Structure formats: C-alpha cells, structure tokens
Structure 1
Amino acid sequence: MGKKNNKGMTYEKAGINIKAAKNSIDLSRADIEATYTNEVLADLGLFASAVDLKNILAEYRHPVMVTSTDGAGTITWVAKKANKIFTAGWFRIGYSVAAHCFADIATLGAKPKVFLNSISAEKINPATNREILFGMSQACQEADCILGGGETAEMPDIICREQYDVCGTAIGFVERDKMIIAPRLIQPGDVIIGIESWGLHLNGLSLARKILFKSFWQRLSLNQQLKKQVPGGKTIVQELLRGMPNYGPIILSLLNKTHHKDWPIHGLAHITGGGLKDNIERLLPEDCQTKIYKSALPSAPIFSYLQKKGKVSDEEMFKTFNLGIGFIIIIPHQTTPFDLISRIKSFIRQKGGLKSFLIGEIVKGEKGVEFII
C-alpha cells in the first residue's frame, strides 16, 4: 500500500465521521437497552437486531403483523435553528416520531413490539442523536416496545446546512378477529369522539413555517422571531416543538375494554397529514358521510393564529391541520348504552390525561366529510 500519505483524501475529509456515529450509539446505549426484554437476542452494535418471537406470538391465536413508517418532516429545521434557546426540541422529535408510528398501528388495534429508527444528517452530532434516541426510548417504554436499532448516516451534499432527517418504523401484532377495519364496521348513526392534540404535532409544519417566518428577515432576527409569543401564551418555538401525545398505549388500553360487547368501537383514525378531512374520509364506506361540528372542536389558538396570519381558507385548514383533534374514535350510538360516550371520555382522561369531545356523526350519503356549524 506504500507509505501513509497525510495529505491524501480520507473518508473523514469527504464529510463522513465514522467515530461520531459510533459515539452517538455509545451515548444512547443505556436508553436503548432500557427498552430490551428477554426476547432481545442480539447485542447492540451488531449488524442487525434479533427478537425471539416465540413468546410474543404465543399471545395470539392468529397473529397479524401491522407496520407503519413515518418521519419528523421539516420540524427538524426548527429544532436545529432553536437548539440554543429550546434544548428539548430533539427529545420531543424523537418521542413524537415513535408515538406517531404507534398511533398509526393502533388504528388497526395492533400493539407495537419493535421500533426501528433512521437518523440522517449532513454532519452527525452525538449529543443531538442522543436526545433523539432518548425521546424514542421514552415513547417505547410507555408502549412496552423494544427499540430494536436502526441506521445512523452522514450524508454531505445530500442533506445540507447541518440539517437532520429523522424517521422510524413500528412493527406490531394484532389478533386477526380483533382488527378494526373501519370501512366494514362504520354505519349511519355512529358518533365521533375526538381526543385533543397538543398542537401541530408533526404535520402541516411546512405551511406553518412559511406563515410564521416568511417575513422575519425584514424585522427581527430568527432567534427573536422564535421567542415571539403567540396567542395561548407560548412562544413560536414552544408551539412548533410541543410534539404529540403517545396515543397508542391509551387506545390499546381502551381496546382491552371495548372488546366486550358493551364497549364497541367501529373505527379509529390518527389525524396526521391531510388534516381532519382526509384522515376521517379514508375510514368511510362509500355510502357514509361524516358531519363534523365546528363548534365542538376544542379551542386551539395556534390554528386560528396561523389562519389569520397566513390568510388560509377554511378548506385548506381542514385538509392540512388537526385543528385541536389528534385522534378520533367512532362508536355506535343507537345500539349502545347512553353513557358510553361519557365512559370513554373518562377513561381517556384517566389513562392519558387528555380531554376528548363529541365532535360529529355518521350519516347516510355520498362518501365525504362536511364541516357544519
């Protein structure tokens, strides 16, 4: 190979620091291993993770695997810019990416068993990675899910300006005859319970950023803009980086009760990209329509602020943002006890500390969602 040439090109000079990726895993080892059970067979740091499924699948007569992959999206831009004035941002992103995937698979009734992650950046910062993985670990522990491993990649020239891309995948299981396939169950007369959101969650951030920061350079520095207070008493950065609740464990606890005949559920939806309109519509049979009472939606000042500041139409708001509702439950109304709604709302408050509201109903008609006063 010849003599060592200190002036020659190296992988590190090309923008890849292998030590940084290794250091980030070492920093997070305790957080990751805190999610491990006896079913984890491969040590952290090997080429793949391994989970013994014998005991896990023994819980099911006919197990169905359910998966979901999602990412943080452009909220990472805010976390990077606000890193010095709001240090909890990366933790909340990691937590929310995992919680987002858990909520997705909970809509079919599935319990997460393994969560995988992918963290890519122009330049890996071990401390930032540790915060992201710490957030994921916390969400996994709440959901009784193994943080099985993932990918950490530096991608100079592809990801620019020291930005991050954070994604995750949840793998879970559900008993086949307990799956909630909403279009097969929903019928006219059903009612809709909405569980409150914490704010924007991980969706609609590109539009929100354009509205909030489109003119900051004309008047204020970015840090000054991030610290600006918005209606509701929080600053812009606090609103954008609030993250989301971990709906999955709450919903699964509810399903453990609702498999009894006096607690029936016809549909579940996680309100993500597409807002209230699209995420409810995807549940509906062709002959059912949803009526959402606008007056029943919780007051969420950040959304009215964004609408006014950005001159956003009602239609655009409904198909972009969650408008204060992060998860919905559809139940039969005419064939169940009158107090079922109150019992479900009380259960959600007790398990997750979240408020819920009766926000709409299912009627016979052409498939779609209508927002009424």
Structure 2
Amino acid sequence: MTIYKKAGVDVLSTDKLIKKIVPLCSKTNRPGKMGEIGSFGGMFDLKMCKYKDPVLVTSSDGIGTKTILGISENRLDGLGFDLVGMCLNDIICHGAEPLFFLDYFASSKIERSSFIKIIKSIAAACKENNCLLIGGETAEMPGVYKGKDFDLAGFCVGAVERKKMLPRMDRIKPGDIVLGLPSSGFHSNGYSLIRNVIKEQNISLNDKPPFKSNDKSLAVTLLKPTKLYYNLIVQIIKFINVKGIAHITGGGIIGNLPRIVPNKLSVKLDLKNFPKDNLFSWFKNISKLNDHEMLSTFNCGIGMALIISKKDLVKTQRFFKNKKEKFFIIGQIIKSIKNEARCIIN
C-alpha cells in the first residue's frame, strides 16, 4: 500500500481507526440488531420489532457548511448530533421511530482526533434516540478536499405502523392550530449566509455574543447542536391527535409548513406569538433581512411545527405543562386565497 499512501490515501491507518470506533457503535443497541461493524452491509431484523403492518421511512441529509465553522473554531463535538438530528427529525414527521443510522465521512486525510470526536457524537446521538449506528463509510479523497476540510452525510431508516402514518392531510381543515416547538438555534441550515455576513462585518466569534446570552462566545452559540425531537414527539403523538408534523430546515418555516398541508388550504402565521429569540433578532438586524427572507431561510426559533385540532388545545397545553416543555401557538390553517402564498405572514 506504499504507493497508494504516497498518493495521499493511507488505507492501513484508516482501517486501524475503524477498529477504534467499533466499541462506540456497539454502545448503540435496540431490538433488531444483528452482527457487528465490519461486514459488507449492516443487517437489521425487522421481525424483532414486533410490527404488525410496518412502513419503512428513510431520510438522508448532511449539515452543510456548518462543518467549516466547526473546523475553524475546533468545536466538533456537536456535529454528530447535527447529522443525526437532520435525518431523525425528518422521519419522525411521518410518525416513524428510528431503527438504524449510517454515516459518511470524507476528507483529504483522516485526522484521528477529529474523526473520533465526530463518530463519538454520532453514536451518542443515536443512543439517546434508541437508534442503532449500524455502519458507514470513511473516505480519504485528496484533491477533492483540502487541508482539514471534511464533509458529513447521514442516512436513517425508521418504521411506522401503516395506520399511524403522518401527515393525515384528509383530516386537516380550516381552524386547525399550528404549534411550534423551540429550536436550539440555527440548527444546521443557513450557514453559508451566516458565515458570509459575519465575515463581511468582521464580527469576532471569540467574543461574547452581541446580545443577551449565557454563552461564553458567539462561536458557542452558532455551533449549538441541532435539537433532536424524537423522545418528545413520540410522547406527544401517543397523547394528542396530531394531524401533521413539519421539520423546519432548509427553506425555513415558509418552505416547510406547506408540505404537510393540502393544496386547498394555507397556513396563516402570527409572528407576535413566535419565541422572542435574541439570536434571530440580532441576525435579522445585522443582515438586513426582512420577515419573509428570515422565515424562508431559517427556523426563526421553531424547530418543529405540529398541526392539531382546536378542540385538542387544552389537552395539549396540559401535556406540555406536565412535561415542563415549551411550545408556541404560531398560526392556524385557513382556506387558500387565490393568488396568495401558501404561507401567509400576519
């Protein structure tokens, strides 16, 4: 392998690293687990999950240029949570529970410390959400990536009983309420714009955030991991008749909420009920973005949106109070108005 190593790909070194992450992957466990890391493919025994009429739900995603910010600030521990969150949060919009996860890590040269930190955080995120880390791919690609740069991608598979699949578009009607669950920050979207604005305005990432915050630096705030919602959502859908769930990612609230609403209906947002989030207010101010631009780019403090019937609101309020979790009534479902947007800002 000496000639290949001279070309920039150290197969033996990478193989040794893979052996070091096997114990991390083994810490993730759930019914359906088969075999160990190292086979040509990861295997999962769906029968062990005792489904009656399962539908598989899949999602594949990355975390975009948030990796560049993590690399520059040497803060990588949360990126695995971002990666798992972007995929798991998607499949739970269909009522699915996560079964297993695979990752893809590519760089110019696999750097041991960074690689272990990433895989460790992926494994921790999977374990917290009862999801197997079943395998993945590690690639050295000199010429494609340069220096310390790397890229991440994730792939998740979940399952849901056919009769419990979401959204239930045939049940969504005018007067239904749209609830918002708070995000932990920007999550993993909009970072090319965020980085560009920060660079243009010469804003220091090492200083305290220029708004009210307990974080020791702006870098800490911007690199907060994506919030994973599975453990909360799985309780909500057992207690409340949820008609639809939207993960607020790329495209923001305006781009994602209409995806779970019938074409003949629209969403009317009430901005005064949104969380008073210092981070998003600050960024809107320095970037000079208007409300529509913010809402079509970022989550604006809302990481997940749920549609429920108005008659279930009191029950829902009681649930969140008992769980000591926050939620916001951010809008309602209305009849579509000709030539009007599917998501109307009030």
Above 0.5 in TM-score? Answer: yes
Name the structure 1 match of 2:253: 276
Check the 8 A contact 1:25/1:130 in 2, yes or no: no
Aligned-CA RMSD value: 1.9
Check the 8 A contact 1:27/1:126 in 2, yes or no: no
Matched position secondary structure for 1:207 = helix
Check the 8 A contact 1:116/1:147 in 2, yes or no: yes
1:227 aligned to 2:198?
Answer: no
1:253 aligned to 2:254?
Answer: no
Name the structure 1 match of 2:137: 151
Matched position secondary structure for 2:43 = coil
Structure 2 gaps of 5+ residues are none
Matched position secondary structure for 1:232 = coil
Distance 2:16 2:73 in 1: 23
Query: Per-residue deviation at 1:151?
Result: 0.3
Query: Per-residue deviation at 1:187?
Result: 0.9
Check the 8 A contact 1:185/1:267 in 2, yes or no: no
1:364 aligned to 2:335?
Answer: yes
Distance 2:313 2:71 in 1: 49
Distance 1:173 1:23 in 2: 34
Check the 8 A contact 1:23/1:126 in 2, yes or no: no
Query: Per-residue deviation at 1:97?
Result: 1.0
1:320 aligned to 2:301?
Answer: no
Distance 1:337 1:106 in 2: 21
- In structure 2, the CA distance between the partners of 1:337 and 1:172, relative to structure 1 (3 Å rule), is closer
TM (normalized to structure 1)? 0.86
Check the 8 A contact 1:115/1:145 in 2, yes or no: yes
Check the 8 A contact 1:70/1:169 in 2, yes or no: yes
Name the structure 1 match of 2:155: 169
Check the 8 A contact 2:29/2:127 in 1, yes or no: no
Check the 8 A contact 2:26/2:36 in 1, yes or no: no
Query: Per-residue deviation at 1:136?
Result: 1.2
Query: Per-residue deviation at 1:50?
Result: 1.6
Higher radius of gyration, 1 or 2: 1
Distance 1:225 1:107 in 2: 34
Query: Per-residue deviation at 1:135?
Result: 1.2
Check the 8 A contact 1:24/1:127 in 2, yes or no: no
Check the 8 A contact 2:56/2:158 in 1, yes or no: yes
Structure 1 gaps of 5+ residues are 1-7, 84-88, 258-262
TM (normalized to structure 2)? 0.93
- In structure 2, the CA distance between the partners of 1:341 and 1:36, relative to structure 1 (3 Å rule), is closer
Check the 8 A contact 1:68/1:105 in 2, yes or no: yes
Name the structure 1 match of 2:64: 73
Distance 1:290 1:344 in 2: 24
Check the 8 A contact 2:173/2:334 in 1, yes or no: yes
Distance 1:34 1:130 in 2: 15
- Counterpart AA for 1:199: G
Distance 1:38 1:211 in 2: 46
Distance 1:244 1:341 in 2: 24
- In structure 2, the CA distance between the partners of 1:337 and 1:308, relative to structure 1 (3 Å rule), is closer
Corresponding residue to 1:24 among 14, 17, 25: 17
- Counterpart AA for 2:326: K
Name the structure 1 match of 2:244: 267
Distance 2:168 2:210 in 1: 38
Name the structure 1 match of 2:326: 355
- In structure 2, the CA distance between the partners of 1:346 and 1:21, relative to structure 1 (3 Å rule), is farther
- Counterpart AA for 2:303: G
Matched position secondary structure for 1:282 = helix
- Counterpart AA for 1:81: S
Check the 8 A contact 2:102/2:134 in 1, yes or no: yes
1:128 aligned to 2:114?
Answer: yes
Name the structure 2 match of 1:86: none
Query: Per-residue deviation at 1:338?
Result: 5.2
Distance 2:271 2:168 in 1: 23
Residues 228-271 of structure 1: per-residue CA shift (max 9 Å, x gap):
523133322112210121102211122222xxxxx211110110
Corresponding residue to 1:204 among 170, 174, 190: 190
Name the structure 2 match of 1:260: none
Check the 8 A contact 2:241/2:312 in 1, yes or no: no
Matched position secondary structure for 2:7 = coil
Check the 8 A contact 2:108/2:149 in 1, yes or no: yes
